[in-house]
């Protein structure tokens, strides 16, 4: 799943929940899924390292 | 042509003339080709059979001597001056007497900016007809790229602009930079190779950045190979080549065109602060929505419970109402209500008198009215 897909699904869940149309069982399932998506998105942001690399030096490094 | 060598023991030695003739005859086997360059050092004299000039490569300064028959040259009426761009059609030749190598031109054509533009227009029309620039081919950029590939020259400006824009907006961005030629005859091939190498390394969006330059500096970015490579890239490409007013063909084939390298940098990453805010807003909405749903269910449950508690009393009331209704009907049917409306019941002994024939004058009768009864006597019968 991409960040974008996760964010989109999360926002759709919030929309559904805020509409107040979801029955309790569904609401709880949506909440669980939403939390999972939220954690996924946060995770994606936190694991990005901010690495700037040069392709040339990478190629050098991988040479035997 | 057979070139004879003199033998000194086991060493074969050629005379200068023989050597030159040998090389010259070998050169003659090379094909006739078109060569492009700038004219310098044009030398023409009515006493000479040929006109001489030097063709210079404007990119790297390589030089090539050229000769052309004077009659041919004059007939072309090119009126060339130093710096003019020409296409020379000819084959390599060795001037044997001096051992000088040059291009023997058979024809010469002026090739200027206009020709470049015309050639570019033709290529553009051809690629457009193939659908390479079609809007429906354009892919959206990923919102959050895992790794950005950057193809740029080793002139720091464009590279620095992209990197600064990227890291300002989104500090945790990962970027893989391929420095390559972005000018000169090798640029197109080098950029294509860099694009492929970055794709092999795994990137999910590509930026091709090059600062401004002359029309000719930017020509490699209109090279057919490069334009096709960009169109065929497995991931979306942002092109930031030259300035706003330049439109190299690679800009048309790219998925997104950025007016400057900085703009390209901002396009390929999200604004981290905004992204976090949006994410936190979603999370707050998640909690609010779930709570709302819970509250609503609780209210519904409470309502149901209340109705459940009210149910026996309701039943009782309903029964009572029914009973009263029955009572009313009963009362309506009983003789008492009739008496209350002013009627009376007359009894003779135990029998109710319904006919004058049932009594005789002088018979005692009992009269019952609403509020009680009294005795009476029959006077006459009509």
Confidence category of residue B119, pLDDT binned at 50, 70, 90: confident
At residue B46, the pLDDT reads 92
The phi-psi region of residue B242 (left if phi > 0; otherwise alpha if psi is between -120 and 50; otherwise beta) is left
Find the closest chain A residue to B177 by CA distance.
Answer: A54
Mean per-residue pLDDT, B128-150: 92
The model's pLDDT over B146-202, given as tens digits with 9 standing for 90+, comes to: 899 999 987 668 899 999 999 999 998 999 999 998 887 788 999 999 999 999 999
The structure's pTM equals 0.60
At residue B164, the pLDDT reads 94
The CA distance from A40 to the nearest CA of chain B, in Å, is 11
Residue B313 has pLDDT above 50, yes or no: yes
Residue A61 has pLDDT above 70, yes or no: no
Mean per-residue pLDDT, B78-90: 89
- Terminal-residue alpha carbon distance, chain A: 35
User: Which of A55, A62, A63 has the most B C-beta neighbours within 10 Å, making it the best mutation to test the interface with B?
Assistant: A55
Cβ atoms of B237 and B132 closer than 8 Å: no
Contact B289 A50 (CB under 8 A): no
Q: Which residues of B241-262 are buried (b: 16+ CB within 10 A; e: fewer)?
A: bbeeebbbbbbbbbbbbbebbb
Q: How far apart are CA B72 and CA B74, in angstroms?
A: 6
Q: Is the pLDDT higher at B330 or at B246?
A: B330
Q: Which of B279, B285, B294 sits opposite A24 (nearest CB)?
A: B294
The model's pLDDT over B87-107, given as tens digits with 9 standing for 90+, comes to: 999 999 998 888 999 999 999
Contact A31 B172 (CB under 8 A): no
CB of B273 within 8 Å of any CB in chain A?
no
CB of B202 within 8 Å of any CB in chain A?
no
Residue B255 has pLDDT above 80, yes or no: yes
Integer CA distances (angstroms), B53 to B24, B49, B275, B374, in order = 20, 14, 64, 161
Question: In the structure encoding, which two tokens stand for residue B274, read together?
Answer: 């905004």
Q: Which of B143, B179, B197 sits opposite A4 (nearest CB)?
A: B143
- Interface list for A 27-46 with B (CB within 8 A): 27-28, 30-31, 34-35, 38, 41-42, 44-46
The model's pLDDT over B202-249, given as tens digits with 9 standing for 90+, comes to: 999 999 999 888 777 888 899 999 999 999 999 999 999 887 677 889
Q: At B144, is the secondary structure helix, strand, or coil?
A: coil
CB of A60 within 8 Å of any CB in chain B?
no
At residue A51, the pLDDT reads 87
Confidence category of residue A59, pLDDT binned at 50, 70, 90: low
Integer CA distances (angstroms), B293 to A20, A37, B34, B286, B305, in order = 6, 20, 78, 11, 18
Give the number of other Cβ atoms within 10 Å of residue B217's Cβ.
18
ipTM comes to 0.82
User: Which of B290, B299, B301 has the most A C-beta neighbours within 10 Å, making it the best mutation to test the interface with A?
Assistant: B290
Domain chopping of chain A, boundaries: 3-62
- B70-73: list long-range contacts, CB under 8 Å, 24+ apart: B70/B44, B70/B46, B72/B106, B72/B107, B73/B44, B73/B108
CB of B139 within 8 Å of any CB in chain A?
no
Q: In what order do the strands lie in the sheet with B175-179?
A: A52-54, B175-179, B148-152, B205-210, B237-241, B256-257
Q: In the CATH hierarchy, which fold is given to the domain comprising B6-111?
A: OB fold (Dihydrolipoamide Acetyltransferase, E2P) (2.40.50)
CB of B173 within 8 Å of any CB in chain A?
yes
Per-chain mean pLDDT for chain B: 89
Mean per-residue pLDDT, A22-32: 87
Q: How far apart are CA B179 and CA B376, in angstroms?
A: 137
At residue A64, the pLDDT reads 46
Q: Which of A27, A50, A56 sits opposite B174 (nearest CB)?
A: A50
Share of chain B above pLDDT 70, in %: 99
Residue B112 has pLDDT above 80, yes or no: no
Alpha carbon B304 to chain centroid distance? 52
State which CATH number among 3.40.718.10, 3.30.420.40, 2.30.30.280, 3.40.50.2300 fits the domain covering B116-273. 3.40.50.2300
CB of B199 within 8 Å of any CB in chain A?
no
The model's pLDDT over B49-77, given as tens digits with 9 standing for 90+, comes to: 999 999 999 888 899 999 999 999 998 88
- Sign of CA pseudo-dihedral B12, B13, B17, B22: positive
Contact B143 A17 (CB under 8 A): no
Share of chain B above pLDDT 90, in %: 51
The CA distance from A64 to the nearest CA of chain B, in Å, is 17
Residue A60 has pLDDT above 70, yes or no: no
Contact B198 A55 (CB under 8 A): yes
At residue A58, the pLDDT reads 57
Q: Which of A38, A49, A50 sits opposite B286 (nearest CB)?
A: A38
- Interface list for B 26-85 with A (CB within 8 A): none
Confidence category of residue B279, pLDDT binned at 50, 70, 90: very high
Domain chopping of chain B, boundaries: 6-111, 116-273, 336-377
Q: At B219, is the secondary structure helix, strand, or coil?
A: helix
Residue B13 has pLDDT above 80, yes or no: yes
Q: Which of B167, B194, B279 sits opposite A42 (nearest CB)?
A: B279
CB of A9 within 8 Å of any CB in chain B?
no
Mean per-residue pLDDT, B101-128: 88
Contact B172 A48 (CB under 8 A): yes
């Amino acid at each position: 799943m991409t960040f974008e897909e996760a964010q989109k699904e999360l926002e759709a869940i919030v929309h559904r929940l805020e509409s107040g149309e979801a029955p309790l069982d569904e609401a709880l399932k949506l909440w669980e899924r939403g939390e999972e998506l939220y954690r996924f998105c946060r995770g994606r942001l936190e694991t990005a390292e901010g690495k700037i690399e040069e392709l040339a030096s990478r190629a050098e490094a991988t040479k035997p | 042509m057979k070139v004879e060598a003199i033998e000194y023991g086991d060493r074969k030695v050629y005379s200068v003339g023989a050597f030159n003739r040998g090389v010259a005859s070998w050169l003659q086997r090379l094909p006739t080709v078109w060569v492009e360059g700038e004219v310098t050092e044009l030398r023409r004299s009515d006493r000479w059979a040929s006109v001489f000039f030097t063709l210079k490569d404007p990119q790297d300064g390589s030089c090539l001597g050229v000769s052309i028959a004077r009659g041919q040259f004059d007939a072309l009426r090119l009126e060339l001056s130093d710096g003019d761009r020409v296409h020379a059609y000819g084959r390599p030749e060795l001037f044997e007497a001096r051992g000088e190598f040059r291009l023997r031109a058979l024809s010469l054509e002026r090739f200027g900016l206009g020709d470049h533009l015309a050639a570019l227009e033709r290529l553009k029309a051809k690629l457009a007809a193939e659908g390479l620039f079609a809007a429906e081919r354009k892919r959206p950029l990923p919102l959050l790229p895992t790794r950005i590939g950057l193809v740029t020259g080793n002139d720091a400006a464009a590279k620095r602009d992209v990197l600064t824009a990227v890291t300002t907006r989104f500090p945790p961005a990962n970027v893989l930079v391929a420095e390559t030629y972005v000018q000169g005859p090798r640029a197109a091939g080098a950029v294509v190779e860099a694009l492929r190498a970055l794709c092999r390394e795994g990137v999910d969006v590509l930026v091709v950045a090059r600062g401004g330059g002359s029309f000719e500096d930017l020509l490699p970015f209109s090279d057919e190979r490069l334009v096709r490579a960009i169109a065929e890239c497995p991931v979306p490409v942002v092109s930031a080549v030259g300035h706003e007013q330049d439109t190299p063909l690679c800009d048309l084939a790219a998925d997104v065109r950025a007016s400057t390298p900085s703009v390209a940098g901002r396009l390929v990453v999200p604004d981290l602060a905004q992204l976090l805010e949006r994410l936190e807003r979603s999370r707050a909405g998640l909690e609010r929505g779930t709570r709302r749903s819970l509250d609503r269910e609780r209210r519904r449950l409470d309502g149901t419970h209340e109705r459940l508690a009210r149910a026996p009393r309701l039943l009782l009331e309903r029964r009572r109402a029914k009973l009263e209704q029955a009572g009313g009907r009963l009362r309506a049917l009983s003789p008492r209500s009739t008496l209350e409306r002013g009627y009376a019941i007359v009894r003779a002994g135990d029998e109710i008198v319904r006919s004058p024939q049932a009594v005789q004058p002088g018979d005692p009768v009992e009269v019952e009215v609403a509020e009680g009864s009294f005795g009476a006597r029959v006077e006459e019968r009509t």
